[in-house]
Amino acid sequence: MKRSTFKEEQKVTTTSNIENMEKQEALGIFSRMLLIRRFEEEAERLYRKGLVRGFLHTYIGEEAIAVGAIPILREDDYVIGHYRDHGHALARGIDPKAAMAELCGKSTGCSGGKGGSMHLFDIEKHFMGGHAIVGGQLPLAIGIALGVKLKQLDSVVMCFFGDGAVNEGEFHEAMNIASLWKLPVVFMLENNLYGMGTDVNRSRAGGSSIYGAAEPYMIPAVQIDGMDVMAVRETVIEGVAKVREGQGPVFIESMAYRFHGHSMADPSNYRDNEEVQENRTRDPIDKFRDDCIEAGKVDGNDIALVAEQIDILVQEAREFAEQSPEPTAEDLYTHIYAEPEGN
């Protein structure tokens, strides 16, 4: 890691600050990560059974980023991201039932069954969507931030994107204008080292470390271990505060690794098994659990109890999704256009 703090002097983030954490808070972080993990595993099962169709991109292995970052935000802040969006949505507090129902194409889904896995929305929770055109959410984040600024609010906009998006023109346009207009954006780069199947070293001049791309735009940028939830938390707390002060955007590159393929269709031929196995030993959930136990914050019983509750939540979500009705033929034609103002 090159740099993990926005402060001038280098500081290595450690897990030692777990010691300052309450038990409930630690269990909260653990349970959020585990919820995402179990939700994704169930989604994959449903995909194999044919209940989830289309594209399914799971967040397994990257849970620490969403869980480390999103709960830091206030309710009036905004989250917008890419198509690997289940983790972000759950971390933002979207009901797992509504999310699972959306994956199953049911009318009770958080997008009414019209968006699917890649397009989860919950505007009440300021979750502004998963967006499936690589890089396309970046200009939208700029716009939300501009709206915040024009409304003279102090909300921040957290925008997730992957290493693939960095090579889109929209990324550079967004960096420039965010910096130029000092917009309240936290750019959250999830660098999982592969743009679909292409190694970032083969797609980007300068190699796998990307945060330097923000520097020409005068945006403060750091790189952190995205598999360390406490590191993510600490950096995001700092970054969000900076943005909220009105000093313009920050850029956080979280180094990550997705344990499964790009999507369900991906045989992962482009990564060797050794690399995958090695990264799996760095499982962010296991690491946090072990650190917590080591720090004496939680014990095996606590963990087992949480795991049991999460299993129930996910099974309820599955049952809800399975039992929910499909959209009607009329729904095909609703919400293509908005109602006129005043209606």
Partner 1 sequence: MAEMLLRDAMSKALREALDEDDRSFLMGEDIGAYGGAYAVTRGFLEKYGEERVRDTPISESVFVGAGIGSAMIGMRPIVEVMTINFTLVAMDQIINHAAKLSYMSNGQLQVPLIIRTVTGGGGQLAATHSQSFENWYASVPGLRVVVPATPYDALGMFRSCRKDNNPIIFAEHALLYRVKGEVPEEYYEVPLGKARIAKPGTDVTLVAYSGMVRVAEEAAAKLEEDDISSEVIDLRCLSPLDLDTVIESVKKTNRVAIVEETWKTGGFSGTIASDIQEAAFDELDGPVIRINGPDVPAPYARNIEQLMIPSSDWVVKSVKYNFGL
Binding mask 48-77 for partner 1 (x = CB under 8 A): ------------------------------
Nearer to partner 1 among residue 15 and residue 107 (C-beta): 107
Which of 181, 159, 160, 156 has the alpha carbon at shortest distance from 242?
Answer: 156
Under the binding rule (CB under 8 A), the answer on residue 148 touching partner 1 is: yes
Cα 217 to Cα 180: distance, rounded to the nearest angstrom: 8
Cα 76 to Cα 313: distance, rounded to the nearest angstrom: 26
Under the binding rule (CB under 8 A), the answer on residue 329 touching partner 1 is: no
Q: Which residue in 81, 87, 129, 261 binds partner 1 (CB under 8 A)? A: 129
Closest CB 141 distance from partner 1, rounded Å:
6
Under the binding rule (CB under 8 A), the answer on residue 88 touching partner 1 is: no
Q: Which among 13-21, 59-67, 122-130, 198-206 is the span making contact with partner 1, rule CB under 8 A?
A: 122-130
Under 8 Å between Cβ of 198 and 226 = no
Write the DSSP string, 176-188.
Answer: HHHHHTT--EEEE
Which of 233, 207, 206, 216 has the alpha carbon at shortest distance from 288?
Answer: 233
3-state secondary structure 212-239: HHHHHHCCCEEEEECCCHHHHHHHHHHH
Q: Which residue in 140, 188, 306, 317 binds partner 1 (CB under 8 A)? A: 140
Closest CB 333 distance from partner 1, rounded Å:
10
Say how many residues touch partner 1, by CB under 8 A: 45
Q: Which among 37-45, 130-138, 223-231, 307-315 is the span making contact with partner 1, rule CB under 8 A?
A: 130-138
Q: Which residue in 67, 94, 145, 186 binds partner 1 (CB under 8 A)? A: 145
Q: Which among 89-97, 170-178, 242-250, 301-309 is the span making contact with partner 1, rule CB under 8 A?
A: 170-178
Q: Which among 25-33, 49-57, 139-147, 278-286 is the span making contact with partner 1, rule CB under 8 A?
A: 139-147
Helix (H) or strand (E) holding 12: none
Query: Cα torsion for 86, 119, 113, 336, to the nearest 10°?
Result: 160
Under 8 Å between Cβ of 71 and 235 = no
Under the binding rule (CB under 8 A), the answer on residue 321 touching partner 1 is: no
Cα 302 to Cα 299: distance, rounded to the nearest angstrom: 5
Closest CB 67 distance from partner 1, rounded Å:
24
Closest CB 83 distance from partner 1, rounded Å:
12
Write the DSSP string, 117-155.
Answer: TT---BGGGTEEEEE-STTTHHHHHHHHHHHHHHTT---
* Cβ neighbours for 133, distance < 8 A, ≥ 6 positions apart: none
Nearer to partner 1 among residue 115 and residue 195 (C-beta): 115
Closest CB 77 distance from partner 1, rounded Å:
12
Closest CB 180 distance from partner 1, rounded Å:
7
Closest CB 139 distance from partner 1, rounded Å:
2
Nearer to partner 1 among residue 46 and residue 174 (C-beta): 174
Which of 209, 201, 294 has the alpha carbon at shortest distance from 254?
Answer: 209
Closest CB 300 distance from partner 1, rounded Å:
42
Q: How far is the CA of 149 from the CAs of 80, 245, 320, 334, in angstroms?
A: 17, 12, 40, 32
Residues recorded for the chain: 343
Under the binding rule (CB under 8 A), the answer on residue 99 touching partner 1 is: no
Nearer to partner 1 among residue 28 and residue 147 (C-beta): 147
Under the binding rule (CB under 8 A), the answer on residue 180 touching partner 1 is: yes
Residue 265: how many other CB atoms lie within 10 Å: 10
For binding to partner 1 (CB under 8 A), which residues are involved? Answer: 78, 111-115, 119, 121-124, 128-129, 131, 133, 136, 138-148, 150-151, 169-170, 173-174, 176-177, 180, 334-342
